[in-house]
A and B are shown apart, each in its own frame.
Chain A
Amino acid sequence: GNSVTQMEGPVTLSEEAFLTINCTYTATGYPSLFWYVQYPGEGLQLLLKATKADDKGSNKGFEATYRKETTSFHLEKGSVQVSDSAVYFCALSRTGANNLFFGTGTRLTVIP
């Protein structure tokens, strides 16, 4: 089947710390992979995506590389800010499917 396993939270970091949120997936075919972010009280926004193996998605200083050999799509940022505090969701969309499969979300809190 299709599933996404995401690092359990919550994660608390100091400003300017390095962030990694792990995400691994199980899927048939060649899925596209996504990171969505949900700021407090808001809906989900696409943060970045990658559609094939070895692609790197990047946005706002966040990066994730589609690793087929390890079925992973870990999210990284070199220096987090207080404004990055949010819930981060890893998701996949498989070939021919019509919906996203989400991980359980990881809450990140960045303290000054």
Chain B
Amino acid sequence: DTAVSQTPKYLVTQMGNDKSIKCEQNLGHDTMYWYKQDSKKFLKIMFSYNNKELIINETVPNRFSPKSPDKAHLNLHINSLELGDSAVYFCASSQNRGQETQYFGPGTRLLVL
């Protein structure tokens, strides 16, 4: 009965590979997000979807492509992984857009070698 779940929890891969991270929320929320947390713990929004529609696309390389098959899922696909992509990626969801509380998943720790 986890509210926001992500898989995998850990991902170690070689430079140049393509990988995906999956996120699912069972809260019935309309809006989902991807955040990146760097090694200094700084958190930055990457993408936001509302009812499967892309709302926010920050300055993220186009090697990163989010996909929302339905409003309970928001997956993140990364092509041609680079060393600098190593980080912890957090998925989150909220009831609506705007000033709502966001609920975070446990994070996916990505290490690119």
Contacts and interface: CB of A to CB of B under 8 A. Distances in A.
Given A43-B104, A43-B105, A102 B99 contact: no
A102 B101 contact: no
Contacts of A43: 4, 90, 104-107
Interface of A: 31-32, 34, 36, 38, 42-46, 49, 51, 87, 89, 93-100, 102, 104-105, 107
Contacts of B105: 43
B68 interface: no
Contacts of B56: 98-99
B36 to A, nearest CB: 11
A45 B48 contact: no
B75 to A, nearest CB: 17
Contact of A104 (B41, B45, B48): B41
Contacts of B12: none
Interface string B55-79: 1100000000000000000000000
10 contacts: A36-B104, A45-B104, A87-B41, A89-B43, A93-B100, A95-B99, A100-B45, A100-B102, A102-B44, A105-B41
A32 B90 contact: no
Contacts of B41: 38, 87, 104-105, 107
A99 B105 CA distance: 15
Contacts of A100: 45, 102
B98 to A, nearest CB: 6
A27 to B, nearest CB: 11
Interface string B86-113: 0000101000011111111111000000
A49 B90 CA distance: 20
Nearest to A87: B41
B35 to A, nearest CB: 8
